[in-house]
Structure 1
């Protein structure tokens, strides 16, 4: 299957923002990477998104970023689309990552706004125009104002959607009005993909016309999120209500452990370690949960595993 056949437009379903498995010395955990890729594919996801926020992309060396692209694409081996994050403050580095993605067989790249200078919308539009025009792979915009300081306004997104190489947008603003404004404005472009980041809002966004979710919790429980997406796409409201309750329980009980702004990611990596998929090590400035914090995660994960096993979602 060619990369163009893999990447259907619009891209629909669950595309997990894959965590980056690391060893204690910050080398890439190749065994953990293999297990994680196979875990996600077996869970029925529609694609993988590497080098996003959940992948700790900005904390990784460029050598590790390039290695992760090559090793992930090698393991996926064309079974589903691989989307590669190329967000950086330097255009040259973004293009370098995109070249590796192209050479490795990835299907598309994803770029949030450069996150140091506070660009206005004119500067942001010009940046994306230059980036998209320099790429050989299609580009997804990534709206992440909480971490990048810069918000891709609806009017800017609409203008950028006219570029033939810009094929979609992932929104992590957690602003449902913004997402609905995008959807309503782009209804005339049925091939333009709109994905939502916050997993708690995935089902709602799909019910309202969105195409799917880049749901971090799918690293742990891909079948849960795939089933929830399918229920929302089919407007099976009873199943949506049932599974949405579990997603919210995960969010409320697991992602608050330790009370860090990064607790969400620390919790996912701790859970994957407890599930024997990959280690919990994180790249500085972040650090994995300590033993006491991990002890809080253990019973939570065990309970969710029992709950999901009963439903055939583990």
Structure 2
């Protein structure tokens, strides 16, 4: 059943791992609680920032369960979505099967990312996943990684499927087209926009459900940003968005995942939030991240 997602911010949660690559339950639960306290509209577990492609198979379902349980423990109705990205219908179906029985609002899948797909194959891929899944399916448009774009015409056809609930995309033009077209084809279809640099402008276009990994380490700023957007105080909203972009740009300059992991540790979340091959920051890089976070009053 399609339930349209509410306006607000949706963090792509980080995944805290120990030295053996196992999820640290206490840290992930604390991370979830922090986002709930910041009034997150929903949570994405094991998206790109949560390194779904790097999580060990043995830790995959456990990670989803920990996050789902943390929301339940907080007596929150916050939607929880889980990444199920993989390279075939069969492999995605196995991931979904491992999640059965969990209190989830949906699963999120990119196109397969080893081989590029035709649009006919994209449509077949999502239709067959959605027909098998006990959870609503959200498409994830990520052509820079997957080599395959989910084109507007394809997405319009797919939104008609009763179990395809929405799409996540950073393509503003695509998002605007789908936001208009859904009223004719599937009114409860959700467009989750993920183009961080233009979140303020996109909100004005009606793209009010916004998802990004940066939200995981900027909780206090997120709250200000979306209160400002809801009250149409665009000057304050743009200022808050600029703060998030400033930290994002700092991460880019030192290494995105290394910067993010160090920031999460600085905020009190234990564990490594970066792929196991990512180098640790140097002392100078750590100071660069910490200085930025201090200037933004995050620490």
| Aligned residues: CA RMSD | 2.0
1:67 aligns with 2:62: yes
Q: Residues 84 and 108 of structure 2 are in contact (CA less than 8 Å); yes or no, is this contact kept in structure 1?
A: yes
| Equivalent in the alignment of 2:271 | 279
**Pairing partner for 1:83 from 81, 84, 88:** 81
Corresponding residue SS for 1:213: strand
Q: What 5-or-longer segments of structure 1 have no aligned partner?
A: 307-313
Q: Residues 24 and 281 of structure 1 are in contact (CA less than 8 Å); yes or no, is this contact kept in structure 2?
A: no
| Equivalent in the alignment of 2:35 | 40
| Deviation (angstroms), 1:197 | 1.7
Corresponding residue SS for 2:18: coil
CA–CA separation in structure 2 for the residues paired with 1:119 and 1:155:
15
CA–CA separation in structure 2 for the residues paired with 1:290 and 1:62:
31
| Deviation (angstroms), 1:111 | 0.6
| Deviation (angstroms), 1:42 | 0.9
**Pairing partner for 2:223 from 210, 221, 226:** 226
Distance 1:287 1:98, change over 3 A: farther
Corresponding residue SS for 1:214: strand
| Equivalent in the alignment of 2:187 | 190
CA–CA separation in structure 2 for the residues paired with 1:244 and 1:118:
34
| Equivalent in the alignment of 2:212 | 215
Q: What 5-or-longer segments of structure 2 have no aligned partner?
A: none
Q: Residues 195 and 212 of structure 1 are in contact (CA less than 8 Å); yes or no, is this contact kept in structure 2?
A: yes
| Equivalent in the alignment of 2:144 | 146
| Deviation (angstroms), 1:8 | 4.4
| Equivalent in the alignment of 1:17 | 12
Q: Residues 15 and 273 of structure 2 are in contact (CA less than 8 Å); yes or no, is this contact kept in structure 1?
A: no
Corresponding residue SS for 1:229: helix
CA–CA separation in structure 2 for the residues paired with 1:8 and 1:179:
18
| Equivalent in the alignment of 2:122 | 124
Please give the per-residue CA displacement for 1:105-144, whole angstroms capped at 9, x wherever unaligned. Answer: 1111111101011100001101111110011110111100
Please give the per-residue CA displacement for 1:202-228, whole angstroms capped at 9, x wherever unaligned. Answer: 222221111311122211122322332
CA–CA separation in structure 2 for the residues paired with 1:208 and 1:177:
11
Q: Residues 49 and 85 of structure 1 are in contact (CA less than 8 Å); yes or no, is this contact kept in structure 2?
A: yes
| Deviation (angstroms), 1:37 | 1.1
Distance 1:203 1:212, change over 3 A: farther
| Deviation (angstroms), 1:281 | 4.8
| Equivalent in the alignment of 2:238 | 241
| Equivalent in the alignment of 1:270 | 262
The number of residue pairs the alignment matches comes to 295
Q: Residues 193 and 211 of structure 1 are in contact (CA less than 8 Å); yes or no, is this contact kept in structure 2?
A: no
Q: TM-score, normalised by structure 1?
A: 0.87
| Deviation (angstroms), 1:236 | 2.3
Q: TM-score, normalised by structure 2?
A: 0.91
| Equivalent in the alignment of 1:100 | 98
CA–CA separation in structure 2 for the residues paired with 1:295 and 1:279:
19
